[in-house]
């Protein structure tokens, strides 16, 4: 079992960073959330001149046994097909990562397909998809811990190559069902309020998905005291690896960018293991998946974008990354009132 040692965000430079931000040639607060991000990144990196180096997007892919119960309008085979699309460079996340200069890493956490040594795929398969948690835990506890450890190792390896910004994304038919159950059990929000349309369910499909997930939660009768048990019961291999990658990134004081509903469910689990992880996170966007706003509210975090995204893959992170760049760049490059010879407010 991997143990993570997270420290609270160091506040030694907090006041100096606030002072530097206040002296920029703008009204106080005029750059909105960018000012909060500049302050956060400066505190994470413990410098008045933070830098973003070799940003990387980790996309974890895995299949879910619950998909066999009709919770998605797409067949499970789509997971493997999309992984091949990632490797061929043709998915949305490929387009957006290329656009902003993020390295894309695709990890097979547990896809129900045997890949033939495809170039660029990181093999980390924990199994050919999880068990159907309608009838049994999604995975054994030892496998869950092994997946967390593997995700942590992958993140650490990327950070050792010089990256100090990691985005976390995913692919897996059925993983909104997993995320909904994780959210419901860990937040005590009724499952009906934690279920969305996923890959595009109609009203009948949404009602059926809600019923199935209600039955699954009733079957296992878990409480939220043990996040590892909840993750092993309802999670996916890719979600468990995301939890490990997130915890390792925060442990090594990287800037951690969180995508949509699935990634936020993973950070929910991680925060139950180590609450301080949230101090290292920038939340990219509010997903159009219905329960995401409630989950963001529960975590008391504010996302950067709200543009109707619900694709996953890490796409929200890639699209939001230029805003984080903007926050760091204004802190480092924007003139101060003194250097520009501009008069400050008379009451400043």
pLDDT tens digits along 304-320? 999 999 999 999 999 99
The two tokens of residue 304 are 């950067």
Fold adopted by 56-321: Rossmann fold (3.40.50)
Which pLDDT value is given to residue 345?
A: 67
pLDDT tens digits along 131-170? 999 999 999 999 999 999 999 999 999 999 999 999 999 9
Report residues of the chain scoring pLDDT below 50: none
> Following DSSP, what letter does each residue of 263-277 receive, concatenated?
HHHHHHHHHHH-GGG
- The arrangement of strands across the sheet holding 281-283 comes to 121-123, 103-110, 56-62, 165-171, 255-258, 281-283
- The count of other CB atoms within 10 Å of the CB of residue 176 is 31
Which pLDDT value is given to residue 347?
A: 64
Residue 39 CA to residue 209 CA, distance in Å, equals 42
- Please, what sign has the CA dihedral across residues 81, 82, 88, 90? positive
- Please, what sign has the CA dihedral across residues 298, 303, 308, 314? negative
Residue 127 CA to residue 139 CA, distance in Å, equals 9
Residue 163 CA to residue 178 CA, distance in Å, equals 30
Catalytic residue among 35, 238, 251, 313: 313
**Nearest alpha-carbon partner for 196 in 71, 298, 283, 297:** 71
- Which residues fall within 8 angstroms of residue 37, CB to CB, at 6 or more apart? 282, 304, 323, 324, 327, 328
Which pLDDT value is given to residue 199?
A: 75
Active site residue 313: yes
Give the global pTM.
0.95
The rounded mean pLDDT for the chain is 95
Which pLDDT value is given to residue 117?
A: 85
Could you say which DSSP state residue 193 is in?
G
């Amino acid at each position: 079992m991997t143990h993570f040692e997270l420290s609270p965000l160091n506040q030694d430079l907090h006041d100096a960073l606030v002072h530097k931000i206040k002296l920029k040639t703008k009204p106080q607060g005029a750059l909105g959330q960018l000012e909060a991000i500049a302050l956060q990144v400066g505190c994470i990196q413990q410098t008045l001149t933070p830098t973003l180096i070799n940003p990387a997007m980790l996309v974890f892919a895995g299949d879910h046994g619950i998909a066999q119960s009709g919770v998605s309008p797409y067949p499970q085979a789509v997971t493997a097909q999309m992984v091949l699309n990632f490797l061929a460079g043709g998915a949305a996340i490929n387009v957006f990562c290329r656009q902003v200069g993020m390295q894309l890493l695709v990890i097979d956490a547990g896809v129900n397909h045997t890949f033939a040594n495809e170039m660029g795929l990181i093999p980390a398969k924990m199994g050919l998809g999880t068990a159907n948690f309608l009838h049994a835990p999604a995975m054994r506890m030892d496998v869950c811990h092994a997946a967390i450890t593997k995700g942590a190792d992958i993140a650490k390896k990327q950070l050792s190559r010089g990256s100090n910004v990691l985005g976390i994304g995913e692919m897996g038919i059925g993983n909104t069902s997993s995320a909904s159950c994780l959210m419901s059990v860990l937040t005590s929000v009724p499952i009906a309020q934690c279920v969305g349309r996923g890959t595009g369910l109609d009203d009948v499909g949404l009602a059926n998905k809600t019923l199935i997930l209600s039955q699954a939660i009733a079957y296992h009768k878990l409480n939220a005291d043990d996040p590892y048990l909840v993750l092993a019961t309802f999670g996916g291999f890719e979600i468990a690896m995301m939890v490990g990658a997130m915890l390792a990134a925060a442990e090594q004081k990287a800037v951690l960018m969180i995508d949509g509903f699935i990634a936020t469910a993973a950070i929910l689990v991680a925060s139950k293991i180590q609450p301080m992880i949230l101090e290292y996170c920038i939340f990219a966007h509010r997903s159009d998946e219905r329960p995401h706003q409630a989950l963001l509210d529960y975590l008391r975090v504010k996302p950067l974008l709200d543009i109707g995204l619900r694709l996953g893959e890490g796409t929200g992170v890639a699209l939001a990354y230029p805003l984080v760049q903007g926050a760091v760049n204004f802190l480092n490059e924007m003139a101060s009132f003194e250097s520009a010879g501009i008069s400050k407010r008379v009451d400043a």
